[in-house]
Structure 1
Amino acid sequence: MRYLHFLLLIASINGFAQDSIEHSFTPHSENQIVSYNGIWSWFSDPRAVYYEGEYQRTYLGWVDNYGNIMVSLLDHETGEQQVFKVYDGIEIDDHNNPALIFDSKGRLSIYFTTHLINDDPLYKISATNPEDISSWNPVERLNLNNEDQYNKARILNHTYANVVKDPYNSQTWYLLYRGVDMQPCMSISKDEGVNWSKSHILYNGNDDEIYTPYLKVYKGKTKIHFFLTSDHPTRALGSNQLYYFYLKEGIFYSHHHKKIASLESSAIVPESLTPIRDSQQSRAWCWDIKENEKEQPVITYVEFEEHEHNYKYAYFDGQKWIHKTLTESGGAFPEWVGNKQLEPHYSGGLIINPTNTRELFASVQRAGNFEIEKWNFDPKKDDWTQLPITSGSSNNAVRPVLSIDSNNLNKASSLFWLEVMNYKYYSSQTKPGFSEFSLSDRYATLIRSNNAHSKYILPSKSENLIRSHFIDHHIKQRINSDFLYLLALSNPTLKIREVALRLEISNFLNFKKKILLSSQEIEEIEINDFAKKLYLFNPNIFERDQIENLINQISEAESLTSIDYLVVNEMMEQQLDLDGNLIKATNLHSENLFAQFERLDLTLANFQSSILDSYSFLKYGAAQEDDQERLKLVLDQCWKFYNEHFSQQYHPDVCGALLLFDAAYKDKFKKT
């Protein structure tokens, strides 16, 4: 753990541009945590890509609640996970997750944007080596909006990145985003993303008024499929249409295979398309599109009636659209703010399995929280069957996504989703115009996966599972938690937690540094409290010499202000007094403590205090090598007592005390 703390300190002092997080080997377990801090929208894709070359790996991108753009890989043979921050603090907004694509040499490129910020560009970063995310080329800023052609445009943003290859020529890529006057725009590269053309408007639904279409795109065997909602569902009935068209060999066609445009022609207009549904009855929002075995489009969408979110599935049979209803999903998942739902159309979501388009993954409210479920459609029975992926969750599980197969090997997809601890709105006060939302109101979400490819199995040792549950339980309170306390409890066999938590702390420190340097006054930051939590907390974390070294390095660090030094120095003096009192108390109590355990005099009432007494004797008392055997007996009895009396119901305080004692024993006697 000392080495881990040293890494944390170096990370917090040296600054952050593109931060490589050291490799970790994480065992696979059902519904494992991929990241303790990550989120995405459903309008930038691909979010997850499976690539098979020298390795068999799935790559995943997200934005965290510090605005960092993150990429991770999961190796399906070794269980290894790597995490890398590719862009530091672009914006705290869930619209900004990256889209991932591989070139013919196996090098990953990612594309991402800000959300409605002036004339910000679209960003691109490419890995320098095949099947590797540890080294990246400099960031490219792509100003794709054609200001000469659209010189009367009122808006020139870049929002929502989608990148897709041409089915007939893998050297040709299409980059789609929301650009000129909020319309879907398309840029073309003939050299695998090295150079990009100025974009043109793909679909133009504007007249005197600006509308906001939402686009989904998918590459099939011979077609690129497009599915869009013509405007946001908050708009009036009738303006909220669902449309479909496809691109094949440079020509755009309607679902009836009627030519409507070409790559060289002007934008597609609503009059050239036939609506998929009657928009006069209810509003709707597109969610997913894939291609079935007949190369026909299959879609999912949500229809809204008052507060109801009705999940819909449809496919084109060659003549007409066949619509099926799954269920009313439970409404919007964001928390209410007072008596208002700020995002009343944010559904849990439903997506289509690209390898079996009759199989869906949906987020549906069950017993108060949204759960991920697998839904299968039987056309002969015209009915659905459901299988829970999550159940009994303490938090909402939403926005599922399946990896796509970059190699077209028809490999099974890995499923990922968000576990929501806090979500009121998609942004925070760090975004211009959103001052009513405090930093603590920003989204807080984990990323989980069932990682179907993994061959690495978690040992079923009860101690490992208890540690896992304890950390998972407390990280969900991370807005008010002490991250170092969690790190002190992390299990060496659960490396993903050490990596993920270290990354979380690094991002937290970096965000604080940027706030300080920009002189922004954000009361919720509470610099003094952060310094206490992140640098000292209590004697459970650092030895005295570590604290002294820490204070020296903090006072010398350019990236931190003198306020940190003053706070830590004050806490240091308090801790020295505390240490002295603990040493006296624990030495006097030690013989009584051993006698109690040797008599097996443990009860439910005294169990936690007995553990903490044992821990204090180890950490601050005069425990010697001669005490090892007796302390080992105490530790074994504690684990046995815990498993017998507490394992059926989770008790975080008792569990935390036992983990501290266990960690202190191993540190004292150099056991791993």
Structure 2
Amino acid sequence: MNSLLSLTQEFTSDGAWCFFADPRALYYQGQHRRTYVGWLNSIGDVWIGYYDHVLGAYETFLIRSVLQQDDHANPSLYIDESGHITIFYSAHNGSKMYYRTTRLPEDLSSFGAEMQLPANTDGHYGYTYPTPIYLSEEKRLYLFWRGGNFKPNFSVSTDLVHSEWSPARTLIMDSGQRPYIRYASNGKDTIHFSCTDGHPNIEPYNSIYYARYREGAIYRADGSLIKQTTDLPLELSEIDKVFDGTSAQRNAWIWDIAEDEQGYPVIVYAIFESLEDHRYYYSRWNGAQWVTNEITSAGRWFPQTPEGVHETEPYYSGGIILDHSDPSIVYVSREVQGTFEIERWSSSDLGVTWSSAPITVNSSTHQVRPFLTRGSQDGQALLFWMNGEYIHYTNYKTSIRFDIQKK
């Protein structure tokens, strides 16, 4: 176990992640009070570690060597009610989805054998972006991923130990090449999701959509029934259009979704005025309608494009995420005088107006892709982000840094 250096706030000197496989970090209080976090290093090794909130110390563990040198292969985490930790991971469009579960609760040194998800849809796109969500009232674990058909898919398990999974099903099947999607849950009976038509590099205009799952059916934000899950997949025309990219003649990309204290959805996303003018937006259901406001400008893309090279990922904003325990708070990475910095923004009027406070200042390298630990209950949550050189999703030399946010 290592003591953290408060001056550097560095959790690992070699770590990265994409922003569509979540949760990347979870808090669990049992025998210990710890935050668990997973990442991928610069040669494609899968890692997990914990921060002990009592001891102020951390420890890291290698899960799999050289899965893939591609930050899309970052892992996601699930912790069951008894404290057993499961880590899910796959290569970018990988042929297999893997997972491992600890034999002992809260013990990262006790991971069992590597298992494989026995379900996927037809097609040659494999697996990407695992997102596990447990619903306690159903006593079932849902695993979402982008599947063989390049669409959002899911399978359900009632027994991880024996790798019992339902056949893969497609959540959304539409004309867009591949909807990008984010999920959130109350952990009991509801799963919210928000998605795009496809990738902004490909779609002429990307919109933002929303629906939710509850008790075997899919609903709009106003509670109106769309269809039973037995009638899946969905088409995008059936669900809420939160931002209309075609009418606005703009492209958008989803970043995060959460549930507020009333169970209403809150969504954050980027809208691109141009490739060099990204804006962060906030849409919140107020019980009657979607209310949308701009939070702040975000700058341009953050990858460090080599001179004379055409940037292939101009829609890679620095990043924005919600505080899932209080979605009136967001954490952003935005360009400040040429360098991307991490900031905390908050609203006291449901997103109409915003105030900000810096987390990082005067940085010499970019600070990007923040993620706030989910499930924190002891008055503090670890905010993680990437720091360093990032040329491409297969060429990065970044660390994972952190800051303790008081709740």
TM-score tier, shorter chain, comes to over 0.9
CA 1:64–1:392 in structure 2 vs 1: closer, same or farther (change >3 Å)? same
The residue that corresponds to 1:115 in the other structure is 92
Q: Name the amino acid aligned to 1:402.
A: L
- Which residue, out of 90, 104, 107, partners 1:132? 107
Contact 1:214 1:228 in 2 (8 A): yes
In 2, are the aligned partners of 1:167 and 1:224 still within 8 Å (CA)?
no
- 1:426 is aligned to 2:393: yes
Unaligned runs of 5+ in 1: 1-22, 147-152, 428-441, 454-672
Q: Secondary structure at the match of 1:405?
A: coil
User: Which structure has more strand as a fraction of its residues?
Assistant: 2
Structure 1 residue aligned with 2:401, among 429, 435, 448? 448
Please tell me whether the aligned partners of residues 242 and 286 of structure 1 are also in contact (alpha carbons under 8 angstroms): yes
Deviation track 1:408-437 (CA, whole Å, cap 9, x = no partner) reads x475321001102x211111xxxxxxxxxx
Q: How does 1:30-429 map to 2 (within 5 A)?
A: 32-117=9-94, 120-146=95-121, 153-169=122-138, 171-192=139-160, 194-206=163-175, 211-220=177-186, 222-238=189-205, 240-280=206-246, 281-307=249-275, 308-337=277-306, 338-379=308-349, 382-405=352-375, 409=377, 411-420=379-388, 422-427=389-394
The structural deviation recorded for 1:116 is 2.0
Q: Matches of 2:131 and 2:80 in 1, distance apart?
A: 15
CA shift for structure 1 position 24: 2.1
Contact 2:242 / 2:283 at 8 angstroms: preserved in 1? no
Between the aligned partners of 1:359 and 1:154, the Cα distance in structure 2 is 40
CA displacement 1:615-657 (0-9 Å, x = unmatched): xxxxxxxxxxxxxxxxxxxxxxxxxxxxxxxxxxxxxxxxxxx
The 3 A distance-change label for structure 1 pair 164 and 411 is farther
Quote the offset at 1:336 in angstroms.
1.3
C-alpha displacement of 1:313: 0.9
State the one-letter code of the partner of 1:250: G
- Report the AA paired with residue 375 of structure 2: D
CA gap of 1:136–1:64, structure 2 versus 1, over 3 A, is same
Contact 2:284–2:350, Cα closer than 8 Å, also in 1 = no
Q: What SS does the aligned partner of 2:360 have?
A: coil
Question: How far does residue 351 in structure 1 lie from its aligned partner after superposition?
Answer: 0.9
Deviation at 1:383, TM superposition (A): 1.9
- Preserved contact between residue 311 and residue 327 of structure 1 (Cα < 8 Å): yes
Q: Verify the 8 A CA contact 1:342 1:424 in the aligned structure 2.
A: no
Partner Cα distance (2:98, 2:178) in 1: 22
Where do 1:573-652 residues align within 5 Å?
none
Contact 1:261 1:267 in 2 (8 A): no
CA–CA separation in structure 1 for the residues paired with 2:73 and 2:278: 25
Q: Which whole-Å CA distance do the structure 2 matches of 1:381 and 1:46 have between them?
A: 24
Name the residue aligned to 1:543.
Answer: none
CA distance in 1, matches of 2:102, 2:7: 30
Distance 1:219 1:97 in 2: 21
The structure having more radius of gyration, on CA atoms, is 1
- What's the secondary structure of 1:78's corresponding residue? coil
Mapped partners of 1:329, 1:449: distance in 2: 21
TM-score by length of 2: 0.94
What amino acid maps onto 1:449 in structure 2?
Answer: F
Return the TM-score normalized by structure 1. 0.58
Q: Tell me the CA shift for residue 262 of structure 1.
A: 2.7
Question: 1:172, 1:192 within 8 Å by CA — same for their partners in 2?
Answer: no
Q: Which amino acid aligns with 2:2?
A: S
Equivalent pair of 1:405/1:411 in contact (CA under 8 Å): no
Contact 1:360 1:374 (8 Å CA) reproduced: yes
Cα distance in 2 for partners of 1:96, 1:314 equals 29
Show CA shifts across 1:119-139 (max 9, x none): x11111111111011121111
Write the distance in 1 (CA, Å) between the matches of 2:156 and 2:7.
40
Residue 143 of structure 1 and its aligned partner are, at CA, apart by 3.4
Q: Could you tell me how far 1:48 is from its partner in structure 2?
A: 0.3
Structure 2 residue matching 1:357: 3-state secondary structure:
coil
Distance 1:386 1:57, change over 3 A: same
Q: State the 1:387 CA deviation.
A: 0.4
The 3-state SS of whatever aligns with 2:86 is strand
Deviation at 1:191, TM superposition (A): 2.8
Closer, same or farther in 2 for the Cα pair 1:452/1:378, shift >3 Å? closer
For the aligned residues, what is the CA RMSD?
Answer: 1.9
Provide closer, same or farther for how the CA distance between residues 380 and 277 of structure 1 changes in structure 2, counting only shifts above 3 A: closer
Please give the alpha-carbon distance, in whole angstroms, between the structure 1 residues aligned to 2:96 and 2:271: 33
Cα distance in 2 for partners of 1:202, 1:166 equals 17
The total of aligned residue pairs comes to 401
Does the aligned pair in 1 maintain the 2:189–2:214 contact within 8 Å?
A: yes
Cα deviation 1:181-218 (Å, max 9, x = unaligned): 10000100123564212211011114xxx611111111
Letter of the 1:65 counterpart: S
Task: Tell me the secondary structure at the aligned position of residue 264 of structure 1.
Answer: helix
Offset at 1:380?
8.2
Instruction: Specify the code of the residue in structure 2 equivalent to 1:376.
Output: S
AA at the equivalent of 2:148: V
Within-5 A mapping of 1:1-12: none
Deviations 1:310-362 (A, max 9, x none): 11011011221111112221110001132421210000011111122111111
Alignment-derived partner of residue 24 in structure 1: 2
Cα deviation per residue 1:228-285 (whole Å; 9 max; x = unaligned)? 11200112434x2211111111211112212223333221112211311111120000
**Counterpart Cα distance in 1 of 2:236 and 2:271:** 20
Q: Which amino acid aligns with 2:382?
A: S
Change in 2 beyond 3 A, CA 1:380/1:230: closer
Query: What is the SS of the residue equivalent to 1:315?
Result: strand
Does structure 2 conserve the Cα–Cα contact (< 8 Å) formed by 1:355 and 1:412?
no
Change (3 A) 1:31 1:290: farther
Deviation at 1:388, TM superposition (A): 0.3
User: In structure 2, do the counterparts of structure 1 residues 380 and 123 end up closer, same or farther at CA, with 3 Å as the change threshold?
Assistant: closer
Please give the alpha-carbon distance, in whole angstroms, between the structure 2 residues aligned to 1:261 and 1:186: 17
In 2, Cα distance between the equivalents of 1:269 and 1:380? 30
Amino acid at match of 1:231: G
**Aligned partners of 2:66 and 2:128: how far apart in 1?**
16
Moved over 4 A (4+): none
